[in-house]
Each structure stands twice: as structure tokens, then as C-alpha cells.
Structure 1
Amino acid sequence: MDKALYVAMTGARASLQAQGNVAHNLANVDTKGFKAALAHTEAFKIPGAGFPSRYDAMPVQPGYDARPGSQMVTGRTLDVALQQDQWLAVQAGDGSTAYTRNGELAITANGMLVTAGGHPVLDEIGNPMVVPPAQSIDIGGDGTVSIVPQGEGPQTMSMVGRMRIVTATREQIARGGDGLMRQTDPQAELPQATGNSLTSGVLEGSNVDAAGALVQMIQLQRQFEMQVKVIRTGDEMAQSSNQLLRLGG
């Protein structure tokens, strides 16, 4: 009976972890460029001696949903939407390089180009980008940032630098605890994207399907309740067996 209880317990634990992923997705349904986290369970055969039917439920997180989110035209110069499988390099809170698809950019009071989360945008050589005071700014399709200096005419437009935009598949990056993406293999160098990598004046929305996530949440809740019922029933059967043994003794 204890083995049956353990199998039900692993299933309940996997359902709880999957619910956490779904709740995280729902919380980011309005986050620009967010990619929904995926989660499912797999059967895991318990090694060692015993019946061949001894399997447990093992939670698996295969990564994120790579499908693009909806495109929202904003007309704002500092809003950019990246092409498929392309990521904007930023500086994380710990100083490491991370990646995001949230193209809602801004310029701080000291001229730092940052994301909506306050993370500095990196240039081609990995340094935070600084934009001098300007009366207009333009972001090209290849990630180049150009400005017209204050008090100058449009003929004086000059390039400040180029944002680091890399190409990475779902297997090459994974979400960290701070919500930013990082390389699964820190030793591998992600290639700089070539050609047109982004569209200015457009933002990519979250690719979370809110209605589908709510349905999934209900299904996981029912699975959890069923597994808890199995645990409770197994415990009641064990208590009944103990009572019969005491009466028989």
C-alpha cells in the first residue's frame, strides 16, 4: 500500500508544479514578448527489484512555447519587435548577459538605453548602450541606433551603435529565475543576427493563450484532487487493515 501512496504522491506533486507554470503564464499574459512556459509529466520506471508496474510520475519542463505573439503597432520610435528566434541582449541584475524579446525600450536620464524592466541594452561588443542627447532617434532594421544631435538638422544624423541581437533556438536558451533567457551552454557563442532583425514602431505581445491556460488550470486541479483522493483512500485502507490484524491477534 505504501508504494501506491508514493505513486499517487508523485502524481500530485507533478500536478502542483504544472499548476505553478500555468499560473506564471497567466500572470504574464500582458507582458510584452513573453513566451509561455511548457510543462508536462512523464512516466518514470522505479529501478530495482519489484513488480514491472512500478512507475511514478515525473514532472518535465521542456522549455517555452516558441510561437510568436501578436504584433501591436504603436508608432513609438523606441518600440521594436524582433524576428522569429531572435533575441535582444541585455545586462541582467548580476551583470551577466541575458536575452529578452520585450522590445519596449526607453532612455534614462543619463542616456542609458534600457528595456521596460530597466535592464541595459548591450551593443555588438557587449557594452551597455549610451545614447547622447538628441532631438530624434531612429532604430534601423538591423539594430543600428542613429540620432540627430540636439540643435542640428536631419543631414547630421549619425550612428551611435548597433544593438546585439542574436539568433537562438528553443534548445539553446532557457528561462532564468529573473524571467530573462540565458544560454543553456555558457561556452557556446550565440551568433549575431544578420539582415533585418526587427521592426520599429511595433511591439510583440505575449503568446499566452489565456482561455487555454484557464482550461488547463481546471484540468490540473481535477487531477490533483483525484490523486489526493487516491492517497486518502489508501490511508483509510491501511488503517482498516491494521484494525483487522489487531482483531485477528
Structure 2
Amino acid sequence: MDKALYVAMTGASASLQAQATVSHNLANSDTPGFKEALANTQAFPVQGPGYASRIDAMHVDAGFNRRVGAQQITGNALDLSLQPGNWLAVQARDGSEAYTRAGALTLTPNGQLVTPSGNPVLDENNNPVAVPPHQAIEIGHDGTLSIIPLGEGPQTMATIGRLKVVQAPDERLERGLDGLFRNTEPLQPFALAAGKTLDSGMLEASNVDAAGALVQMIQLQRQYEMQVKVIKNVDENARSANTLLRLNG
């Protein structure tokens, strides 16, 4: 009976972890560029002396959903929608290079271009992008950043840099706890994206299916309740067996 108790207990734990993943997805169903996190379980025989008769139902991080989200036209020059397979390079909190598809960019009071989470956007020279005072700004399809200086006419539009956009194979990307993606093989840098890399004035919506995630939450809740019921039944059976043993003794 202890084997059934152990399997049900670890299964309930895995269900709770999966619920946390789905809850995180639901919370980000309106976050531009968000990629749905995937969760799974697998049987893992517990290692140790003797026969491996204990099986752990282990929660597994299955990566993320690669599907491109719906396109939303905003008209904001700093809103970017990246082409499939392209990722915007940003500076993480620890100073390392990371990647995102969250293209709702903003400017800080000192002119630094940042993501919605406040991460500085990098240029092709791996430096944070700083925008001088301007009266108009434009980001081209190749990531070129141009401005009309403050107080000048349209004929003075000048290019001040180019955003670093890379082509990153999905299998070489791993999401961190900060929501940013990183290269799983840092010794092999991603290649810069060529040609049309993005669209300005548009945003890629989250690829989370809110209705599907709600259904999944209900399924996980029922699965958890079933596992808890198994634990209770096994415990009651163990109590009944102990009572019979005492009576026969």
C-alpha cells in the first residue's frame, strides 16, 4: 500500500506544479510577445539499494509553445512585431545578453530604450540603445533606428543605430526565471537576422489560449482531487489492516 501512497502523493505534487504553470500562462494571456509555458509529467523510478519498485511522478518543464501570436496594429513607432524565428537582444539584470519577443518598447526619461520589464535594448555593438532628444522617431523593417532631431525638419532625419535582432533556433532557447530567453550554447552566438526582421507600429499578442488554459486548470484540479482521494483511501485501508492485525494478534 505504501507504493500506491507514494505514487499518488508525487502525482498530486506534480499536478500542483502544473497548475502553477497554467496559472502563470493565464496571468500573461494579455502580455505582448509572451510564449506559453508547457508542463508535463514523467515516471521516474527512484534509485537506491534493492529493487526499483518506487515510481515518482515527476513534473517536467517542457519548454514553451513556439506558435506566433496574433498581430495587433497600434500605430506606435516603438511597438515592434518580430518576424518568426527572430528575437530582440536585451540586457538582463546581471548584465548578460538575453532575448525577448516583447516588443512594446518605451523610452526612459534619460532616453534609454527599454522593454516593458525595464531591460535595456541592445544595438548591433552590444551597447544599450540611447536616443537623443527628438521630435520624431522611426524604426525600419531591418531594425534601423532613425530620428528627426528636436527643432529640425523632416529632411534632417538621421540614422542613429540599429537594434540587435538575432535568428535563434527554438531548440537553443531556454526561458529563465526573469521571463527572458537565453542561448543554451553560449559559445555559439546567434547570427544577426538579415532582411526584413520586424514590423513597426504592431505588436505580437500572447500565444496563450485563455479558454484552453481554463479547461486545463479544471482538468488539473479534478486530477489533483482524484489523487488526494487515492491517498485517503490508501490511508484508510492501512488503518483497517492494522486493526485486523491487532484483533488477530
Taking structure 2 as the reference length, the TM-score comes to 0.95
Alignment of 1:134-173 (within 5 A): 134-173=134-173
Tell me which residue corresponds to 2:219.
219
Identity %: 62
Contact 1:76 1:201 in 2 (8 A): yes
Tell me which residue corresponds to 2:25.
25
Alignment of 1:1-249 (within 5 A): 1-47=1-47, 49-50=50-51, 55-249=55-249
Query: Paired residues, what number?
Result: 248
What is the alpha-carbon distance in structure 2 between the residues aligned to residue 225 and residue 56 of structure 1? Answer: 18
Change (3 A) 1:184 1:51: closer
AA of the residue aligned to 1:42 = Q
What is the alpha-carbon distance in structure 1 between the residues aligned to residue 134 and residue 154 of structure 2? Answer: 11
Structure 2 unmatched ranges of 5 or more: none
Change (3 A) 1:217 1:127: same
Report deviation, 1:16. Answer: 0.8
What is the alpha-carbon distance in structure 2 between the residues aligned to residue 131 and residue 234 of structure 1? Answer: 65
Report deviation, 1:51. Answer: 7.5
Contact 1:63 1:170 in 2 (8 A): no
- Please give the per-residue CA displacement for 1:16-67, whole angstroms capped at 9, x wherever unaligned: 1110100000000110100000011122344564477x54322111100010
Report deviation, 1:222. Answer: 0.6
Please state whether the residue corresponding to 1:185 is helix, strand or coil. Answer: coil
Please state whether the residue corresponding to 1:9 is helix, strand or coil. Answer: helix
Report deviation, 1:186. Answer: 2.7
CA RMSD between the two structures? 1.5
Structure 1 unmatched ranges of 5 or more: none
What is the alpha-carbon distance in structure 2 between the residues aligned to residue 188 and residue 248 of structure 1? Answer: 70
What is the alpha-carbon distance in structure 2 between the residues aligned to residue 224 and residue 155 of structure 1? Answer: 65
Taking structure 1 as the reference length, the TM-score comes to 0.95
Report deviation, 1:169. Answer: 2.3
Please state whether the residue corresponding to 1:19 is helix, strand or coil. Answer: helix
Contact 1:135 1:149 in 2 (8 A): yes
What is the alpha-carbon distance in structure 2 between the residues aligned to residue 167 and residue 248 of structure 1? Answer: 72
